[in-house]
Amino acid sequence: MTPIIAPSVLASDFANLQREVEMINTSQADWVHIDIMDGVFVPNISMGLPVVEAIKRHAKKPLDVHLMIVQPEKYVEAFQKAGADTISVHIEACPHLHRNVQQIKSLGCKAGVAVNPHTPISSLSDLIQDIDLVCLMSVNPGFGGQKFIEHTYDKIRALRAMIENRHTKTLIEIDGGVNQQNAKPLLDAGANVLVAGNFVFSSSNPKEVIQRLKEVS
C-alpha cells in the first residue's frame, strides 16, 4: 500500500505559512497535519483556530487536525468549521472517549484518536470499530524534533492485529521522529500514515523529501 504522507506544519516557517502550504499543495503529500497545543495537556502552545482558517484558505489537501488539548469537546465544532477534515483527540484527555468520537463523526469529519507513548493499545479495544484513524505518538507530544521511540513498532503491530481481528478500516498514523530510515520499517509493521515535520521542513528540498517518503514501499 502506498503510504499517506502528512507534513506537519508545526515545523514550517510560520512567517511564510502560505508559501509552505502551497509547497505541500504542489508536492506528493496527501494531507496537511496541524498540531494544536494548549499549554495544559502538553507543555507548549502552538497555533489555534485563526491559523487553521488561514491554512484552509490556501490548502488543496485535506486538513488533519491533531488536538493536543484538554476538553476537546468544547472546540471540535469550531475546528470543523475552520476547515478540519480529520480531527484527532487524545485518549488521555477524554474520559468519555466514545462520546468524543461520535461528536466528531456527527460533524462530518473523520474521527481520530491519538495515543501517547505510555498508553497501552488495549485501551482502544472497545472502540476501535468506531475510529477512523489512530495517531500513535512515537515521541512525547509537545515539541518537534524529538528522537523516535523504538517501542512504537510493537504498538503498531499490536494495533494492526486488533484492526484486522475486528475487520475495521482504521488507519494507523505515526507522529514523531519519522524519517527516511524508519519509514519502511514503520510501514512494514502496519502503519498507513506518516507525519513528518522537521524531516521535511528542515530540508533544502522539502518536495523531494516528501516524494522519497511517498515512494517508500
- pLDDT, position 32: 98
Give every CB contact of residue 77 below 8 A, 6+ residues apart in sequence.
103, 107
- pLDDT, position 53: 98
Q: Is 190 left (phi over 0), alpha (psi -120 to 50) or beta?
A: left
On whether the pTM is more than 0.85, the answer is yes
Best CA proximity match to 21, nearest among 66, 68, 69, 53: 53
Structural domains in the chain, CATH included, are 4-214 (3.20.20.70)
In the residue annotation, 85 being an active-site residue is answered as no
Active-site option among 30, 38, 64, 175: 175
Active-site option among 30, 35, 38, 132: 35
- pLDDT, position 140: 87
List per-block mean pLDDT (blocks of 10 residues) for the chain, which spans 217 residues: 94 96 98 96 92 98 98 98 98 97 98 97 96 96 76 97 97 96 97 96 96 93
In the residue annotation, 38 being an active-site residue is answered as no
